[in-house]
Amino acid sequence: MDVNAILSEAKKLGASDVHFIPGIKPKLRVNRDLIELEQYEVINKDDILEVYDYFLKGNVDKDAYFREHKVLDTSAEFEDIRLRVNIAYSDGLPVITTRLIRNELPTYEELGVPDIVRRMTNQTQGLILVTGKTNSGKSTTLNALINYINDNENKKILTLESPVEYKHKCKKSIIVQKEVGVGGDVPAYSIGTKNSLREDCDILVIGEIRDKETMEAAIETAESGHLVIGTLHTKSCAETVDRMINFYEVGDQSQVKYLIASLLKLVISQRLIKNKRGTLSLVPEVMVVDNIVSGLIRKDKLTTSEIEDAIQSGSANGSIGLINSLAKLFTDDIITLDQAKAQVEEKNIEVLNRTIMQMKLKKEEGEGQNQNSYNQ
């Protein structure tokens, strides 16, 4: 099977992922849609083993790890593109999903990341989290923030990634990137995070906080006077707080809440939705942890709705509710009303409609004032 030709086609079509699955033809993910490469034959056993060998390139350690654990995350390169490769088992054969990562890293402005997120990276210590579901662009946003700091700040940045996606060159900052996992620079996120305290870094970037050990190490690092920026697999800012607390046993949660309330500075929870043009637009929810949010986190019985209400009403401090983001995309004629409504629960549809009306009126008032100034 000509893997190079398939990857070349994926690059030309702007695909985010390539799927090599026995029993079907190769498929590409383009703007959330799966596209079959009809010119290729159905992938058989010999084909998938050829693809497997292409990505492992004879690495004995990775092959042994995959055969024992039945799953492997690794990286590769094709032309000017880095590849994040996931290999799993199905019916006794490898199933391979390849993410294409272009080296031209977009800026946070091009991505649509709110400016408050960029400004919060000026913090000298604390915890900033970029969250979202799978394929929500977390890694891209994370690396755009690293790139911004690298352009503007004299810092030492240590990253822990599985695998390393974007290769950063040192500009104003020193950047040390470490790959986590089998055959990498460090065996586990928790170990790399704990060791970062000995490496004199100003900023620690954790590619994914997956378990209690990594969360504990991240909190310890932030508590010791470092800025920690990481990602978490959650669907909202409120769920992020809940997830952080629930890493711990019930008996420890009261103390942990106080630590989180004092160390957590900002959460951006993001999703990508298809817009009118058929491409993807970023929908950010931003929670700036002010005194109100900090007080809520400390509560004995915290509900996600309390956090959501605080975000929605916290625009003065830079917080941005999901509904506000959707309403803005609609009033800017980027998404349809149906696309906006599909992202909120039924109980919040009326709030969305009301927010859209308020934004439209504000926009019309602004245009009217501009017209009056012009006429004068």
How far apart CA 213 and CA 73 sit, in angstroms, is 20
pLDDT average, residue stretch 131-141: 92
The dihedral of CA 198, 204, 209, 212: what is its sign? positive
Q: Are residues 29 and 140 both part of a single domain?
A: no
The mean per-residue pLDDT over the stretch 71-77 comes to: 90
CA distance readout (Å), 235 to 26, 137, 326: 30, 12, 15
Give pLDDT tens digits for 259-293.
999 999 999 999 999 999 999 999 999 999 999 99
Amino acid at 32: R
Contacts of 345 (CB under 8 A, 6+ apart): none
Q: Are residues 173 and 239 in the same domain?
A: yes
Task: Tell me if 371 is assigned to some domain.
Answer: no
Is 50 exceeded by the pLDDT of residue 372? no
Per residue in 226-242, pLDDT (tens digit) is 999 999 999 999 999 99
Q: Can you give the residue range of the structural domain that contains 207? A: 108-318
- pLDDT > 50? residue 374: no
Considering the domain architecture, whether residues 155 and 240 belong to the same structural domain is answered as yes
Q: Residue 220 pLDDT more than 80?
A: yes
In the sheet with 17-20, reading across from the earlier edge strand, the strands are 33-36, 27-30, 17-20, 93-102, 81-90, 71-78
pLDDT value at 83 more than 50:
yes
**Dihedral pair phi/psi, residue 132, rounded to 5°:** 160, 175
The pLDDT of residue 225 is above 70 = yes
- Tell me what pLDDT residue 44 has: 97
In this structure, is residue 88 part of a structural domain? yes
pLDDT of residue 313: 83
CA distance 276 to 286: 24
CATH of the domain at 59: 3.30.450.90
Please check the confidence at residue 373 and state whether its pLDDT lies above 80: no
Number of domains in the chain: 3
In this prediction, what percent of the chain has a pLDDT beyond 70? 97
Q: Is residue 373 part of a domain?
A: no
Considering the domain architecture, whether residues 165 and 305 belong to the same structural domain is answered as: yes
